[in-house]
Amino acid sequence: MKNTLHPLKFQPILKEKIWGGEKLIQQFNRKSNSKQLGESWEVSTVPGDISKVVNGHLKGQSLQEILEAYKADLIGHKNYKRFGNDFPLLIKFIDAKQDLSIQLHPDDDLAKERHNSFGKTEMWYVMQADKDANLIVGFNQDMDRDTYLKHLEEKTLPKILNFDKVKEGDTYFIEAGRVHAIGAGVLLAEIQQTSDVTYRVYDWDRVDDEGNARDLHNDIAIDAFKFNMKDDFRVDYEKQKNASNKMVSCPFFTTNFIDIDSEIEKTNTKDSFLIYMCVDGEVELSTETTSDVISKGETILVPADIKDFKLRTKGAKLLEVYV
């Protein structure tokens, strides 16, 4: 059993959202009739939304089942010691046709205490953005609890938020406790801790087809805020060809950018699984015994005990993720 793991592709878990659109269907060939497809969960062990394998001899098994059976062979010894049978990451693609709500997420301590969950630190890589599309990250001025609450009460919260116009390739690191929102017209890849805990603080006063507003969580969100965090959320990174270029490295994940146009041999020395998200083009990932292709909008997980493999393409861009 120890030698039977292979790179894993999963069935996307599709999520309709009030703010979703059709880019995931049009650009990534997701199978849905929805006009409001907001999210495609690529790698997940969130209860009720657990990824299932679609390739190889493990086809049909869930990521949770595989983790419990293979343990450190799947995620690495240090990760298994740290996380046990809890897979640490949730990987998504997101299409915002409308603005998402203004929100933030609790850190590990608060999420554990309140929700028996990991916290949610995350990052975004913009894959496509309509003209003048924005991301909201942080405040546009020094901020404290009382000033924030005054603007919240007076419904002038957007006045104190930081809006950034974005384009393809822009990357943001969103620590737990930082206010943020994805703006209308942005298609992005999201890498985050395994958590589905979101504190929604403002939703643009919108209502659904039946006139109902979505729930807000201001009573509990205020304790999760980390005011006056440094404005270090914009990520600058190298783009050297056919190499792993460091984007984000934090206690919860590391993400590299790979712009590849040939064949490169990879050796995994991280004692961790590797996840590849294809954000442009198409690439073949091959081991001694397997070969899989991922195209733009697809994801593959390479188990920790697969040490040597090749990436081959005439042109692709990848996000390489590990813990």
Q: DSSP states of 4-62 as a string? A: ----B-B--EEEEEEEEESHHHHHH------S-EEEEEEE-EETTEE-BB-SSTTTT-B
Q: Which neighbouring-strand residues pair with 294? A: 283
Indicate the pLDDT class of residue 228, thresholds 50, 70 and 90: confident
Task: Write down the pTM of the prediction.
Answer: 0.96
> Per-residue pLDDT averaged across 110-134, rounded?
97
pLDDT at residue 207 in the model: 84
Q: Are residues 175 and 282 in the same domain?
A: no
Active site residue 200: yes
Q: Which residues are annotated as a binding site for Zn(2+)?
A: 105, 122, 180
Residue 233 lies in a domain: no
Q: Are residues 78 and 146 in the same domain?
A: yes
Please state the separation of Cα 272 from the chain's center in Å.
18
pLDDT at residue 247 in the model: 98
H helix intervals, 131-235: 145-153, 218-221
pLDDT exceeds cutoff 60 at 302? yes
pLDDT in tens, 53-65: 999 999 999 999 9
pLDDT exceeds cutoff 60 at 3? no
What CATH number should be reported for the domain holding residue 203? Answer: 2.60.120.10
Q: Which neighbouring-strand residues pair with 126? A: 188
pLDDT exceeds cutoff 90 at 211? no
Q: Which of 114, 145, 178, 200 is catalytic?
A: 200
Q: Tell me the three state secondary structure of residue 143.
A: coil
pLDDT at residue 292 in the model: 98
Q: Are residues 271 and 315 in the same domain?
A: yes
Instruction: Taking the CA atoms of 58, 64, 68 and 72 in sequence, report the sign of the dihedral they define.
Output: positive
Q: Which residues are annotated as a binding site?
A: 105, 122, 180
Instruction: Taking the CA atoms of 125, 48, 55 and 75 in sequence, report the sign of the dihedral they define.
Output: positive
Residue 2 lies in a domain: no
Burial state string for 301-310 with b = 16 or more CB within 10 A and e = fewer than 16? bbbbbbeebe
Range of the domain at 143: 13-224
Q: Are residues 266 and 144 in the same domain?
A: no
Specify burial of residue 245 (Cβ count, 10 A radius: 0-12, 13-18, 19+).
middle
pLDDT in tens, 26-44: 999 999 999 999 999 999 9
* Cα gap 172→13, rounded to integer Å: 24
Please state the separation of Cα 83 from the chain's center in Å.
19
Q: Is 254 in contact with 271 (CB distance < 8 Å)?
A: no
Q: How many domains does the chain have?
A: 2
Per the prediction, the chain carries an average pLDDT of 96
Q: Is 167 in contact with 134 (CB distance < 8 Å)?
A: no
Q: Are residues 164 and 205 in the same domain?
A: yes
